[in-house]
Amino acid sequence: MLTDAIVRVAERSKSTRVSVANMTLNHVRRGSGSPLLLVHGLGAGWRSWTPILDELARHREVIAVDLPGFGETPPLSGDVSIATLADAVADFIREQGLEGVSTVGQSMGGRIVLELARRGVGGDSVALDPGGFWSPRERAVFAATLRPSIVLVRALRGVLPALLSNPVGRTVLLAQLSARPWVLSRETVLPDVRGLADSPSVGAAMNALTKGPLQQGAPAGTVPGRVTIGWGRRDLVTVPKQADRATHLFPDASLHWFERCGHFPQWDVPHEATRLILDSTS
């Protein structure tokens, strides 16, 4: 059962804190082989990857980080922006001797791995439904819809397990995030929903996404490895038309469409997301 699998992931994943730029960056390592660095979006920290972590670790050494202010990593002491979050990941890569590592990110994490690729950091990169490619109107809609959702899950913090145990509750709470929330398990979605309620840097990260600069691109031939962008056809957070802007700014990127998928491929199409990651990185 999925619940048992999640428990096994938690038991086998040893959490470690590494000092980076006068702070600590929590992470877990699983599996063996060529390393693969996972960067989460808004929500649960490294546990956002739990639905696919086990399968990835059967083939690769997986290193999943908690960004500053998420999971067990303390917040940054200064400005929170996409640039400073990417700085923290880049520092972690250097600290751990992971130069050339393949990187995978989802949502805000997808934007961070594209930013790292733009800077020439890492190797192959996979960005799943990345942020940073909104039009002004789309970004205003994103802020106007997701901020109230965060306020709501904070208000419902004590009853989230019960609400997410019910298909109707999942559908009401997660319609913006999943193409088919009623078929998901509570164990799949609860970590990220709790993370939206509890992570101390959610507000600052939302400000960075909704008020900060949009994502810059990388001219052809300047990224350090292959770039693959995966997008859900039914994503209501980073809507599908943004894929054209992303591939225009990253002309070396290949685009993969996830059918019947919302903003979280690791929720809606975990097997397809795993296959894309493994096939697109080395």
| DSSP secondary structure letter of residue 74 | P
pLDDT (0 to 100) of residue 1? 39
Task: Write out the H or E segment, with its range, that includes residue 244.
Answer: helix 242-249
- The residue ranges of the chain whose pLDDT is under 70 are 1-23
pLDDT (0 to 100) of residue 25? 84
pLDDT (0 to 100) of residue 17? 58
pLDDT (0 to 100) of residue 271? 98
Nearest-10 Cα torsion for 244, 125, 220, 251: -10
pLDDT tens digits along 243-259: 999 999 999 999 999 99
Can you name the residues that pair with 28 across neighbouring β-strands? Answer: 15, 64
Nearest-10 Cα torsion for 219, 67, 64, 209: -40
Separation CA 79–CA 118 (nearest Å)? 21
Q: What is the pTM of this model?
A: 0.92
Name the residue among 41, 235, 237 with its Cα closest to residue 146.
Answer: 237
Task: Write out the H or E segment, with its range, that includes residue 94.
Answer: helix 82-95
pLDDT (0 to 100) of residue 10? 44
pLDDT (0 to 100) of residue 44? 87
Q: Which two tokens stand for residue 246?
A: 């992303």
pLDDT (0 to 100) of residue 5? 42
* DSSP per residue, 194-240: HHHHH-TTHHHHHHHHHHSPPPP---TT-SSS-EEEEEETT-SSS-T
Separation CA 69–CA 9 (nearest Å)? 22
| DSSP secondary structure letter of residue 258 | E
Name the residue among 231, 212, 271, 222 with its Cα closest to residue 250.
Answer: 222
pLDDT (0 to 100) of residue 4? 42
Work out the number of other CB atoms within 10 angstroms of the CB of residue 137: 8
pLDDT tens digits along 62-107: 999 999 999 999 999 999 999 999 999 999 999 999 999 999 999 9
